[in-house]
Amino acid sequence: MTRVLVVGSINMDLVVTARRMPKLGETLLGDGFATHPGGKGANQAVAAARLGAEVALLGCVGDDAFGRDLRAHLEREGVDCRGVATVPGPTGIAAITVSGGDNAILVVPGANHQLTPAHLDAAEQAFIDADVVLTQLEIPLAAVRRAAELAARHKKPLLLNPAPAVPLPEELLQRVTLLTPNEHEFLTMLAQPDADWRALLAERPGKLVMTHGKHGAYFALARGQLRHQPGFEVQAVDSTGAGDTFNGALAAFLPLGLEEAVRRANAAGALSVTRPGAQGGMPTLAELEAFLENKA
């Protein structure tokens, strides 16, 4: 069982479904509303836990009802929340519009922006106990940097899902074992918006996996050969959290080697879009294995 430490955000997702996305300045009647647990950190933690990993999460919730509900939910999912602090103020939220399987997301970070390097220092034991450390960019960059330092200090592989994307300092990129951007985040993160992603991928064998929605994932093997792991065909209901499911699964299956971990993460990501909510469709290990057997 892989021990995964996730350092990341915890949000309540406020989700409106609509027959199409509203245009700028337009008022449109939606079809439905629901709240779902979300946040890239929490989503990735739940994805890994459902797939059988032993998961601990470091992050912050606010001292409000969303914070209490999210903590209780994560604990029910088997995520160790001893490193989740309750801080004054509101819990992070995401306002999400879902239409035809696609989504548009606006995040208000709230408590997530109170995660400090000191918080991570106080939880150093969690880095020692982990096999893999997984983080994203919905928390302050100072916390991401400290997570990278602590992972390096304890010689743990660090997976960084650079979402939402910002150009990243070279010193942080150097510390990361595996970067997992999607096709948009990839070029933003490297501050090379017009570059050829295939060439950039080939320059980073074994260090970068680029997800490409329903097309699957691309990565480079040693000697720069490009590998494409095709996506799995499914009926998409809600693509929110597909990337998070991919990342949680990748961390959980990393000990199986990059190719096999990417294949399984791809399948988990595909299954995740078949039900509403970021975490709604995340498969259990048994569901994932049944799906893969069916596709073999």
CB 84 within 8 A of CB 57: yes
Q: Does residue 270 interact with ligand RIB by CB under 6 A?
A: no
Q: How far apart are the first and last CA of the chain?
A: 24
For the CB of residue 42, give the shortest distance to ligand RIB in the complex, in Å: 8
Nearer to ligand RIB, 51 or 150 (CB): 51
Q: How many residues bind ligand RIB (CB under 6 A)?
A: 16
For the CB of residue 278, give the shortest distance to ligand RIB in the complex, in Å: 4
The two tokens of residue 158 are 């660090």
Nearer to ligand RIB, 35 or 225 (CB): 35
Can you give 119-178 as a three-state secondary structure string?
Answer: HHHHCHHHHHHCCEEEEECCCCHHHHHHHHHHHHHCCCCEEEECCCCCCCCHHHHHHCCE
Per the annotation, the verdict on 194 as an active-site residue is no
275 annotated to a ligand binding site? yes
Q: Percentages helix, strand, coil for the chain, rounded to the nearest 5?
A: 40, 25, 35
Q: Is 28 helix (H, G, I), strand (E, B) or coil?
A: coil
Q: Does residue 105 interact with ligand RIB by CB under 6 A?
A: yes
Neighbours of 214 (CB within 10 A): 16
Nearer to ligand RIB, 170 or 183 (CB): 183
For the CB of residue 283, give the shortest distance to ligand RIB in the complex, in Å: 17
Q: Does residue 39 interact with ligand RIB by CB under 6 A?
A: yes
Residue 34, H or E segment: strand 32-38
Q: Does residue 13 interact with ligand RIB by CB under 6 A?
A: yes
The whole-angstrom separation of Cα 196 and Cα 186 is 10
Residues β-bridged to residue 195? none
Question: Which of the following is catalytic: 64, 129, 196, 244?
Answer: 244
The whole-angstrom separation of Cα 67 and Cα 79 is 15
For the CB of residue 205, give the shortest distance to ligand RIB in the complex, in Å: 27
For the CB of residue 25, give the shortest distance to ligand RIB in the complex, in Å: 25
Q: Does residue 244 interact with ligand RIB by CB under 6 A?
A: yes
Residue 227, H or E segment: strand 226-230
What's the length of the chain? 296
Q: Does residue 210 interact with ligand RIB by CB under 6 A?
A: no
Q: Site for ligand RIB (CB under 6 A): which residue of 2, 17, 43, 99?
A: 43
Q: Site for ligand RIB (CB under 6 A): which residue of 46, 111, 115, 278?
A: 278
Neighbours of 141 (CB within 10 A): 12
Taking CB under 6 A as the binding criterion, the range among 117-125, 165-173, 235-243, 252-260 that sits at the site for ligand RIB is 235-243
Nearer to ligand RIB, 134 or 202 (CB): 134
Q: Which residues are annotated as a binding site for ATP?
A: 182, 211-216, 243-244, 266
Binding site for ligand RIB (CB under 6 A): 9, 11, 13, 38-40, 43, 94, 105, 107, 138, 240-241, 243-244, 278
Q: Give the catalytic positions in this structure.
A: 244
